[in-house]
């Protein structure tokens, strides 16, 4: 009996130690853990992950930052992964999108540092000018609340449609006062480039336009201005982790002269524009 008790106690101690080690190992990517751990950042492939990889390959080591980049091809998973603690930060979204996402999903994510603007544009394989659109033509637009509103605002700003008075950043097709005979196809933002074979034109987010090999300043029929654009893409974390030393290091690097030069050189067609500074709540 004494031997059995000792053996049980020993096994319990080993199990507890093993559990402790496993728990420590599982937190390696999360914000709020040791400053020596790698910070795992979720990002859209282009240009977000490209910018982060530049930081990782050229700036992070000198700053004492271990950085890992995890790519996502949609606008939902990077936020749910951040909320769940599977990653320590993300970089892909705008303030309007995050505000809407938090409200609808009960998440607690905050933006910490602006990095760049990707002008949204209208593209077509059928027409060379928006003035060539005719009644019955279909325009694909993103179906999430914020990007749909942004797309409709772009169309309205270029007199392609008319919105009702007071329609803001979360406008929907129900807010279209005069569609001028045009029809709308609401689809996931990532699918808008692929829709161009089936519709007259599509409003496409900058990162998806780049992935589809478009040159926005050349190929877009109409394009958002980068000046005073409220749709800067930023680094975000789960609330409470804003002061994580690793996050602070990455903030500084993403707003560095080296990153500014990389963006301007890599995206010389103006499809990605540096837009540094703290995120305004």
241-273 pLDDT, tens per residue? Answer: 999 999 999 999 999 999 999 999 999 888 899
Phi-psi category of residue 72: left, alpha or beta, with phi > 0 → left and psi -120 to 50 → alpha: beta
What pLDDT sits at residue 36?
A: 78
- Same-domain pairing of 168 and 190: yes
Give the end of a domain, one of 193, 223, 253.
223
Say how far apart CA 255 and CA 277 lie, in whole Å.
7
Say how far apart CA 153 and CA 159 lie, in whole Å.
10
Over 60: is that where the pLDDT of 28 sits? no
- Same-domain pairing of 44 and 164: no
- Same-domain pairing of 44 and 77: yes
- Same-domain pairing of 267 and 148: no
- Same-domain pairing of 176 and 198: yes
pLDDT: which is higher, 230 or 141: 141
Domain membership of residue 2 (yes or no) is no
Number of domains in the chain: 2
- Where residue 48 falls among pLDDT bands split at 50, 70, 90? very high
What pLDDT sits at residue 15?
A: 42
Domain membership of residue 18 (yes or no) is no
What pLDDT sits at residue 30?
A: 55
Domain membership of residue 243 (yes or no) is yes
Reported pTM: 0.72
Full domain range(s) for residue 144: 121-223
The answer to which of 19-28, 199-208, 230-239 has the lowest mean pLDDT is 19-28
- Same-domain pairing of 133 and 112: no
Q: What are phi and psi of 233, to 5 degrees?
A: -90, 140
Q: Tell me, what CATH number does 146's domain have?
A: 3.40.190.10
Over 70: is that where the pLDDT of 20 sits? no
- Same-domain pairing of 140 and 208: yes
Say how far apart CA 114 and CA 104 lie, in whole Å.
23
What pLDDT sits at residue 13?
A: 45
Portion of the chain with pLDDT greater than 70, in percent: 87
What pLDDT sits at residue 11?
A: 40
The answer to which of 19-28, 46-55, 125-134, 150-159 has the lowest mean pLDDT is 19-28
Evaluated on CA atoms 205, 206, 209, 214, the torsion sign reads positive
**What's the whole-number average pLDDT of the chain?**
88
DSSP string, the chain: -HHHHHHHHHHHHHHHHHHHHHHHHHTTTSTTS-TTSPEEEEE-IIIIIHHHHHHHHHTHHHHT--EEEEE-SSSSHHHHHHHHTSSSEEEEE-HHHHHHHHHHHT--EEEEEEEEE---EEE-SS-SSGGG--TT-EEEEE-SHHHHHHHHHHHHHTTSSEEPTT--TT--GGGEEE-TT-EEEEE-GGGTGGGGGTSSEEEE-HHHHHHTT--HHHH-SEE---TT-S-EEEEEEETT-TT-HHHHHHHHHHTSHHHHHHHHHHTTTTTSEEEEEPPP-
Domain membership of residue 12 (yes or no) is no
């Amino acid at each position: 009996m004494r031997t059995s008790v000792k053996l049980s106690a020993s096994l319990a101690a080993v199990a507890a130690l093993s559990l402790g080690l496993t728990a420590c190992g599982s937190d390696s990517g999360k914000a709020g853990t040791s400053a020596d751990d790698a910070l795992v950042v979720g990002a859209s492939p282009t240009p977000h992950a490209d910018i982060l990889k530049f930081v990782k390959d050229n700036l992070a080591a000198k700053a004492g930052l271990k950085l890992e980049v995890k790519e996502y091809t949609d606008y939902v998973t990077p936020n749910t992964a951040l909320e769940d603690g599977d990653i320590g930060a993300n970089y892909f979204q705008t303030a309007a999108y995050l505000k809407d996402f938090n409200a609808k999903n009960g998440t607690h994510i905050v933006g910490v540092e602006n990095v760049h603007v990707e002008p949204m544009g209208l593209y077509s394989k059928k027409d060379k000018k928006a003035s060539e659109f005719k009644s019955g033509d279909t325009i694909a637009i993103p179906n999430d609340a914020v990007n749909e509103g942004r797309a409709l605002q772009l169309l309205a700003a270029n007199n392609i449609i008319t919105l009702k008075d007071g329609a803001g950043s979360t406008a929907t097709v129900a807010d279209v006062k005069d569609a001028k005979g045009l029809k709308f196809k609401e689809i996931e933002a990532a699918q808008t480039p692929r829709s161009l074979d089936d519709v007259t034109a599509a409003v496409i987010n900058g990162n998806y336009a780049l992935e589809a090999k478009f040159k926005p300043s050349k190929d877009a029929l109409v394009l958002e201005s980068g000046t005073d654009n409220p749709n800067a893409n930023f680094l975000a974390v789960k609330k409470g982790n804003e002061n994580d030393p690793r996050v602070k290091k990455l903030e500084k690097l993403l707003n560095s002269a080296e990153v500014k030069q990389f963006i301007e050189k890599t995206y010389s067609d103006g499809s990605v524009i540096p837009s540094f500074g703290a995120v305004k709540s």
